[in-house]
Amino acid sequence: MNTDPTQWHIGLVGYGEVGRILAEDLRAQGVKVSAHDLKLASVAGSPLRQHAAVHGVTLFESHADLAEQADFIISAVTASQAVPVAQACALAIRPSAYFLDFNSASPGAKIRAADIVKRNGGRYVEGAVMTSIPPYRIKVPLLLGGPDAAALMPLINVLGFDSKVASLRLGVASATKMCRSVMIKGLEAMVIESFTTARAYGVEDAVLASLKETFPGIDWEKQGAYFFQRVIEHGRRRGEELREVAETVREAGMEPWSASGSADRQAWVADLADAGLFGPKGTPAFARSGDWRTEADRILAQFKPID
């Protein structure tokens, strides 16, 4: 295998927001990039094809076609598809090719995916993305894990990644990510539930004032607006990730009451978004004006007013 990563053929499985950002940053360096996404077979695949054409990304119609060509595969799909994608790629993976699992899956899911890839001759590395990707792009803080993590780290950092090894033991990087998500994505769900309910009772100003007094370092007006925006735009993916968070808690021996409830709330907002409550897809995000109340009012309009 070529030891110069700039000469690799990189295959992206999943050409959503994350995949397209990585493709843009890699292609800007002249790196050869291919991609596969299940949406390519549907009407929803048209914007993906357009993006690929603009940035010089080759699109493959199947996981196997991509895996046969790639020196380095990055799996960036929804959490529930992490193991199935590993299975689909492993059937055709090149000997000693790296497989970086970028997905927000539980440690148990990562271990299962690793076993599949390794049994078929690939080199599996788990990845845990530790914050939102868009502001950082390819330089998003990334924890790596597994026996091949130390070998992969300097190679991908040459390409602009900001990765470091969490552990040579599989599951450690993912556990770090999942435990963080109990808090971060749980807080998103709690803010939507708290702020919308406060709005229903007309006590939102008092609630925000109380939060500011308790946590003076947080601008709750701005933070609340950002959380509403992120859940409206990405609640489906966040809900799936929280299912994996809940599984992580179960793997530790506890019942995931908080994670499961947060997953339900994120998915609930995603259902409302899919039904068009917040406007058609692609509508400019309301949170750029800091107005979370507009979206809370749209949510409340679906229900019986308080007497």
More confident site: 275 or 9: 9
Give yes or no: residues 149 and 208 share one domain: no
65-113 residue pLDDT tens = 999 999 999 999 988 899 999 999 999 999 999 999 999 999 999 999 9
In this structure, are 148 and 223 located in the same domain? no
Count of domains for the chain = 2
Identify the pLDDT of residue 289: 52
pLDDT confidence of residue 130: 94
pLDDT of residue 306: 65
Print the domain residue range for 263.
Answer: 174-300
Q: pLDDT band at residue 281, thresholds of 50, 70 and 90?
A: low
Boundary (domain end) residue, out of 170, 190, 207: 170
Confidence of residue 288 (pLDDT cuts 50, 70, 90): very low
Residue 305, in any domain of the structure = no
Cα–Cα dist 14/124, whole Å: 17
pLDDT tens digit sequence for 244-258: 999 999 999 999 999
Q: Which of 170, 200, 216 is the last residue of a domain?
A: 170
Per-residue pLDDT band for 166 (boundaries 50, 70, 90) equals very high
The reply to whether 156 falls in a domain is yes
- Residue 303 is predicted with a pLDDT of 83
Cα of 176 vs its chain's centroid, Å: 15
**Same domain flag for 207 and 94:** no
AA letter at 279? G
Confidence of residue 44 (pLDDT cuts 50, 70, 90): confident
One-letter amino acid at 77 equals V
Work out the end-to-end distance of the chain between its first and last CA atoms, rounded to an integer number of angstroms: 70
Mean pLDDT over the full length of the chain: 93
Question: Same structural domain for residues 52 and 125?
Answer: yes
Give a yes or no: residue 179 inside a domain.
yes
Last residue of one domain, picked from the residues 155, 170, 185: 170
Q: Is the pLDDT of residue 20 over 50?
A: yes
What does pTM read for this prediction? Answer: 0.86
Residues 203 and 242 both lie in one domain: yes
**Cα-Cα-Cα-Cα dihedral of 231, 233, 236, 237, to 10°?**
-90
Q: Quick one: which H or E segment has residue 149? A: helix 149-158
